[in-house]
C-alpha cells in the first residue's frame, strides 16, 4: 500500500488514506471512528509477519454485531506514572547491562517510541491547611522516595525517547491532555493518527481530545515501548448518542456520574464506546475528558469523542502551535472523520439526554452508585444500618481548641483531587466561586474536616491564582497541597489526631467527599468507610456542611449571622463561570508553565543522581534492583511431576495476585526488609518498591482477599506437599524450587480479572510458576502471562476446578509441549492422585498468536526483544 500526499500550508505530508481502501472493495464509510483509527494503524505498519493482511481484513470488513478475531497494532507513544513506570525502566537498565556483557554497545537499548514518565503517584497529604503545605509535602515526598527518584533522574539522561516530568508537575493524564498529545503525529513527512497506551487505567482521559488510547499493564506497555505490536480483540463499538444540553448549574461531574450509572446497565465491558450526536457539540474538551476519564468505571476500553472545532479550540487555548492545529484539521478532513462519522454502524446505539441530568454524587462505596443530592442522607442511613444496625452516634471532641460535636456521617476529608475533575477549569472556577460566596458570608468548614486541593497541573492552579479565586479557597482550608494523585488513590495522609482517635474509640463511621473517580470502601483512607464522589464545587459545599446526613437541596449548609445559608445562595451562575474561564484561560498560562517544567521544582533539581549510560546498582538499595527476568531462551518440554502452588476459585483478580498496599512486618516482604535493617516505619508501600523484585516476589499472592482451595486457607498461605505443611506462598515456592519441583497454579473462571498489573504476571513468574490452568482468563492478564513466559492453559467446557475434585496433594504432568507450541494447541493434563488413580483432561493452550509462542520460547517478551535488538546491531 502506497501513501498519498496531503498539502498543509507550505508543507507536504505523506499519509495512508482510508478512502483508498474503497477502491479495493471495502466499505469504509460504514466504519466507526475508532475502527478507522485502528485500520489506518494496520495499513501503515503492515509487514506480513506481526501485522498481516488478515488483520486488515478483520477491521476493513468489521462486523458490528459479531466482531471476530484479534488485531495487532503499534502505538505511537507510551505514557507512564512513577509507580508503574519504575519497573519498566529497571528492565531497560538491566537490558543495557546484558548488552555490555555480550560485547554490544549499551545504547542500542532505548525506547523505540516516545515515552513520557510523569511522577505523580507518590505524594501524600501529610500537611494541609496552609500555604506551606505544598512545599512541605513535596520535600517529604522526595525524602521518602529519593532512591527511586535518583534512578529516574539517571534514566532521564541515559535513554533517548524518554522524558521524565518531576514530582510537583501535575497528574499524568492532565499533562497528557494539556501538553503531550498532538492528535496527529508526524515522523519525517509521514502523518498519522496519534495512538497511545498508558500505565494507568484512566489513560482514557485522552479520548476526550479524540485520541485513541487506553490503560494497560506494565508488561504490555513495555512491549509497546520497545516497538513491539500489542494485540487486542477486534472490539464491539457502542455508539452513545448524546442530545439535549446540560441544565444551568449542572457540572461535567454530574454528567459523568449519570453516564457511568447509565452505561453500567449496558454491557460495555471491553467494548469501545464512541460518543456522537448534537449533544457532543455542547461539551467542551475538558467536559469530554471528564467523561472519558471514567471509562474504567463504566467498563469500556475507551470512551471516545470526535475531533471537531471544539478540539481545535482546546489545542489553541492550551498553546499548541498553529501549524499542528492546521494539520489536525486537514488530516481529519482527508480521512473523512473531522466532526465525527456520519452514518457509522455500531454494535449497539443508546441515547442519553444531557438535559435529564441533575446535580448528583456517587457513593457511599462505588463510583456507579449515583445519588441525587436529596438521596444522600438516606443512602448513608442505609449504609449505617448495613454496617452497624443502629442509629447515628455522636460524640464530643476537642480540636484546635474547640469542643465540637462529631459523629457518623460527618465529613472528615473534603478533597478537590484527581484527574477526573482538576483538568476542568469550569469545575475549578465554580469551586472557587462557591468558596468566595462562603467567605463573604463568613461561613467556614467545621474543624474536623480535613480540606485539600491537588490540582492536576500547574496551569490549572495558575488560572485560579490569576483570577483571584484561590485566596478564597485558601480561606476555607483548600490550599494547594500537591500536584499529583492524592486522596483518590489513598494518599490522603493522616487525619487530625482527635478525629482519628474518636473514629477508633467510638467506632464512628465517618465520610469523605472527593472529586475523584474511585471511592471503594476504605480506599480513600483506612479509617474512613464511606466516600462520595462529587464535583469540586460540591466538595466545597459538603466541607461547609460538615456532614453527608444533610439534604443539601433543602437544608441549610450553615448559618451566617444567625440566618440559614442554602446551597442555592452560594452556587454560581453558569454565565459567571464562563466569563471567568474566558477571561483567564489563555495559551500564555499553558506555554509559561510547561516551558518551565524543569525550573518549578528546585527540590528535584537539587537531587543528586548518577550519570552515564549504565546504572550503578547498589546492593544496599532497597527500592531499586536489577531485573531477573532475562533468563534467555528456554527449552519447551513436557512438564512432569508438577505441584499446584495454589488452587483458586472464580474471579481471582490482579489485586489478589499483585502486591499492593502497605508492607507489614508479618509479610515475607516485610521480613526481608527487616533483615536488611529497614525499620517498619520506613517500609513504605509495595507500589513505592515496585523497582525491587525481591520485595515484590515476596508479596505476590499475599493478599488476604481470596481463598486458597488447598486446605481452604486464607490468601497468602498454602500447603507444601508431600509434607502437608502450611507455609506462606513465597516460602512454599522457594522450597519447591530448591527441590526442583515444577509449579503450576489452577484457577476457575475469569482468572486475572480487574485492572491490568504487570506484577500479577511477573510475580508468579519469579515464584517459579510455569503454567496457569484456568477455566477462563481475563483478556489482558492472559496476554501478560505469555509475555513473561508463563504458559496459560484453558480447561475444556464442562470441566471446572471443583469438578476435578483436587485437594492439592496431586502431581500433574502436561503432555504435548515437547512437540512444539502453537496457538490453541491441544495438550493433555495428567493428574496423579495420592490413592494411585490417574485422570487425564484434554485442554488447550490459551496462546492466541505466533508472537506469543515466540515470547514463551524466549522466556518472555523482554528477553525476546533484547535478543532481537542485539542481533540487529
Shared domain for 195 and 255, answered yes or no, is yes
Minimal CA–CA distance to 780: which of 367, 304, 301?
Answer: 301
Half-sphere exposure of 39 (CA within 13 A, CB side): 25
HEC string for 374-421? HHHHHHHHHHHHHHHCCCCCEEEEEECCEEEEEECCEEEEEEECCHHH
Whether residues 258 and 327 share a domain: the answer is: yes
602 domain residue, yes or no = no
d(CA 477, CA 19): 56
- Residue 595 counted as domain residue: no
Q: What is the pLDDT of residue 873?
A: 65
Count the neighbouring beta carbons within 10 Å of the beta carbon of residue 633.
11
H-run or E-run covering 71: strand 70-73
The answer to whether the peptide bond before residue 698 is cis (omega within 30 degrees of 0) is: no
Asked if residue 223 and residue 270 are part of one domain, the reply reads yes
Domain membership of residue 126 (yes or no) is no
Q: Based on the domain organization, do 169 and 316 belong to the same domain?
A: yes
pTM of the predicted structure, to 2 decimals = 0.90
Same domain, 148 and 49: no
pLDDT less than 70: residues of the chain: 389, 632-633, 756, 873
- Give domain status of residue 314, yes or no: yes
Same domain, 342 and 383: no
Is 718 within a domain? yes
Report pLDDT for 126: 94
Both 310 and 418 in one domain: the answer is: no
464 with 519, same domain: the answer is yes
Same domain, 315 and 264: yes
In this structure, the answer to whether residues 298 and 150 fall within a common structural domain is yes
CB 113 within 8 A of CB 475: no
| 756, three cell numbers | 491490568
Per-residue H/E/C for 175-222: HHHHHHCCCEEEECCEEEECEEEECCHHHHHHHHHCCEEEECCHHHHH
Q: List CB contacts of 347: < 8 A, sequence separation 6 or more.
A: 64, 65, 67, 236, 237, 238, 271
pLDDT tens track for 609-629: 999 999 999 998 999 999 999
pLDDT at 632: 63
pLDDT value at residue 872? 76
Same domain, 381 and 463: yes
**Is residue 554 assigned to a domain?**
yes
| Predicted local distance difference test score (pLDDT) of residue 388 | 75
Neighbour order of strands in the sheet with 411-416: 370-372, 360-362, 530-533, 511-514, 411-416, 450-453
CA distance 771 to 635: 14
**Number of helical (H) and strand (E) elements in the chain, helices listed first:** 31, 36
At 649, which CATH number? Answer: 3.20.19.10
Q: Return the CATH number at 283.
A: 3.30.499.10
CB 788 within 8 A of CB 630: no
Residue 717 included in any domain: yes
The answer as to whether 687 is a domain residue is yes
Give the domain range for residue 533: 360-585
Q: Give yes or no: residues 275 and 371 share one domain.
A: no
What's the structural domain count of the chain? 5
8 Å CB contact between 51 and 42: yes
Last residue of a domain, one of 310, 333, 356: 356
Helix (H, G, I), strand (E, B) or coil at 615: coil
The answer to whether the bond into 842 is cis (omega within 30° of 0) is no
Amino acid at each position: 500500500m502506497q501513501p498519498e500526499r496531503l498539502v498543509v500550508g507550505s508543507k507536504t505530508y505523506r499519509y495512508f488514506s482510508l478512502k483508498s481502501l474503497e477502491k479495493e472493495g471495502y466499505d469504509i464509510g460504514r466504519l466507526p471512528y475508532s475502527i478507522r483509527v485502528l485500520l489506518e494503524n494496520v495499513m501503515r505498519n503492515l509487514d506480513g509477519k506481526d501485522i498481516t493482511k488478515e488483520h486488515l481484513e478483520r477491521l476493513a470488513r468489521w462486523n458490528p454485531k459479531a466482531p471476530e478475531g484479534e488485531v495487532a497494532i503499534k502505538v505511537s507513544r507510551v505514557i507512564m506514572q512513577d509507580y508503574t513506570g519504575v519497573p519498566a525502566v529497571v528492565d531497560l537498565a538491566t537490558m543495557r547491562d546484558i548488552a555490555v556483557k555480550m560485547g554490544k554497545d549499551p545504547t542500542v537499548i532505548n525506547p523505540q517510541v516516545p515515552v513520557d514518565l510523569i511522577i505523580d503517584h507518590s505524594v501524600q497529604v501529610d500537611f494541609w491547611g496552609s500555604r506551606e503545605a505544598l512545599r512541605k509535602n513535596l520535600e517529604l515526598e522526595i525524602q521518602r522516595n529519593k532512591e527511586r527518584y535518583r534512578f529516574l533522574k539517571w534514566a532521564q539522561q541515559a535513554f533517548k525517547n524518554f522524558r521524565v516530568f518531576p514530582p510537583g508537575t501535575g497528574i499524568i493524564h492532565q499533562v497528557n491532555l494539556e501538553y503531550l498529545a498532538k492528535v496527529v503525529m508526524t515522523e519525517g513527512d509521514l502523518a498519522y493518527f496519534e495512538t497511545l497506551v498508558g500505565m494507568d487505567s484512566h489513560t482514557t482521559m485522552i479520548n476526550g481530545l479524540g485520541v485513541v488510547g487506553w490503560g494497560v499493564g506494565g508488561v504490555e506497555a513495555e512491549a509497546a515501548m520497545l516497538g513491539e505490536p500489542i494485540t487486542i480483540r477486534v472490539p464491539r463499538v457502542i455508539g452513545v448518542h448524546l442530545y439535549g444540553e446540560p441544565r444551568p448549574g449542572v457540572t461535567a461531574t454530574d454528567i459523568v456520574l449519570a453516564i457511568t450509572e447509565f452505561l453500567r446497565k449496558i454491557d460495555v465491558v471491553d467494548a469501545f464506546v464512541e460518543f456522537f450526536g448534537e449533544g457532543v457539540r455542547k461539551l467542551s474538551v475538558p467536559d469530554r475528558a471528564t467523561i472519558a476519564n471514567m471509562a474504567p468505571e463504566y467498563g469500556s476500553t475507551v470512551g471516545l469523542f470526535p475531533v471537531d472545532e471544539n478540539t481545535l479550540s482546546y489545542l489553541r487555548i492550551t498553546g499548541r502551535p498553529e501549524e499542528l492545529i492546521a494539520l489536525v484539521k486537514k488530516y481529519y478532513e482527508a480521512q473523512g472523520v473531522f466532526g465525527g462519522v456520519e452514518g457509522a454502524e455500531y454494535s449497539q446505539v443508546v441515547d442519553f439526554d444531557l438535559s435529564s441530568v441533575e446535580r448528583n454524587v456517587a457513593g457511599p462505596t462505588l463510583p456507579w452508585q449515583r445519588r441525587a443530592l436529596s438521596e444522600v442522607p438516606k443512602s448513608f442511613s442505609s449504609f449505617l444500618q448495613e454496617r452497624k444496625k443502629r442509629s447515628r452516634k455522636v460524640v464530643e471532641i476537642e480540636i484546635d481548641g474547640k469542643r465540637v460535636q462529631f459523629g457518623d456521617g460527618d465529613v472528615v476529608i473534603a478533597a478537590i483531587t484527581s484527574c477526573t475533575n482538576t483538568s476542568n477549569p469550569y469545575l475549578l472556577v465554580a469551586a472557587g466561586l462557591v468558596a468566595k460566596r462562603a467567605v463573604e458570608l463568613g461561613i467556614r468548614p467545621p474543624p474536623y474536616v480535613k480540606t485539600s486541593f491537588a490540582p492536576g497541573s500547574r496551569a490549572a492552579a495558575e488560572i485560579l491564582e490569576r483570577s483571584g479565586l484561590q485566596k478564597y479557597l485558601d480561606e476555607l482550608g483548600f490550599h494547594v497541597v500537591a500536584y499529583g494523585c492524592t486522596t483518590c488513590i489513598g494518599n490522603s495522609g493522616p487525619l487530625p489526631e482527635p478525629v482519628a482517635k474518636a473514629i477508633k474509640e467510638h467506632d464512628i463511621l465517618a465520610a469523605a467527599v472527593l472529586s475523584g473517580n474511585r471511592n471503594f470502601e476504605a480506599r480513600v483512607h483506612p479509617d474512613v468507610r464511606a466516600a462520595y464522589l462529587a464535583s469540586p464545587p460540591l466538595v466545597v459545599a459538603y466541607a461547609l456542611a460538615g456532614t453527608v446526613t444533610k439534604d443539601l437541596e433543602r437544608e441549610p449548609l450553615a448559618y451566617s449571622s444567625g440566618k440559614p445559608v442554602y446551597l442555592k445562595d452560594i452556587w454560581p451562575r453558569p454565565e459567571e463561570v464562563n466569563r471567568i474561564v474566558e477571561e483567564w484561560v489563555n495559551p500564555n498560562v499553558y506555554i509559561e508553565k510547561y516551558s518551565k517544567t524543569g525550573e518549578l521544582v528546585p527540590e528535584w533539581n537539587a537531587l543528586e543522581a548518577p550519570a552515564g549510560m549504565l546504572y550503578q546498582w547498589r546492593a544496599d538499595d532497597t527500592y531499586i534492583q536489577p531485573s531477573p527476568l532475562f533468563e534467555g531462551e528456554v527449552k519447551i518440554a513436557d512438564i512432569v511431576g508438577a505441584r499446584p502452588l495454589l488452587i483458586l476459585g472464580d474471579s481471582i483478580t490482579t489485586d489478589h495476585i499483585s502486591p499492593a498496599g502497605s508492607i507489614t512486618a508479618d509479610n515475607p516482604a516485610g521480613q526481608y526488609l527487616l533483615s536488611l535493617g529497614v525499620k517498619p516505619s520506613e517500609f513504605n508501600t509495595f507500589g513505592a518498591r515496585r523497582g525491587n523484585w525481591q520485595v515484590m516476589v515476596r508479596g505476590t499472592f499475599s493478599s488476604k482477599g481470596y481463598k486458597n482451595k488447598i486446605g481452604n486457607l486464607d490468601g497468602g498461605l498454602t500447603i507444601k506437599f508431600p509434607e502437608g505443611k502450611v507455609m506462606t506462598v513465597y516460602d512454599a515456592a522457594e522450597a519447591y524450587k530448591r527441590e526442583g519441583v515444577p509449579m503450576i497454579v489452577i484457577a476457575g473462571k475469569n482468572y486475572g480479572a480487574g485492572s491490568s498489573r504487570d506484577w500479577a504476571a511477573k510475580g508468579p513468574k519469579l515464584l517459579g510458576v510455569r503454567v496457569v490452568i484456568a477455566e477462563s482468563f481475563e483478556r489482558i492478564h492472559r496476554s501478560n502471562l505469555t509475555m513473561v513466559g508463563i504458559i496459560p492453559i484453558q480447561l475444556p467446557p464442562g470441566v471446572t476446578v471443583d469438578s476435578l475434585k483436587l485437594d492439592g496433594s496431586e502431581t500433574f504432568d502436561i503432555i504435548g509441549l515437547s512437540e512444539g507450541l502453537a496457538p490453541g494447541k491441544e495438550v493433555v493434563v495428567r493428574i496423579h492422585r495420592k490413592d494411585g488413580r490417574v485422570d487425564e483432561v484434554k485442554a488447550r493452550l490459551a496462546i492466541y498468536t505466533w508472537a506469543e509462542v515466540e515470547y514463551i520460547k524466549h522466556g518472555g517478551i523482554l528477553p525476546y526483544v533484547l535478543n532481537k535488538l542485539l542481533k540487529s546491531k
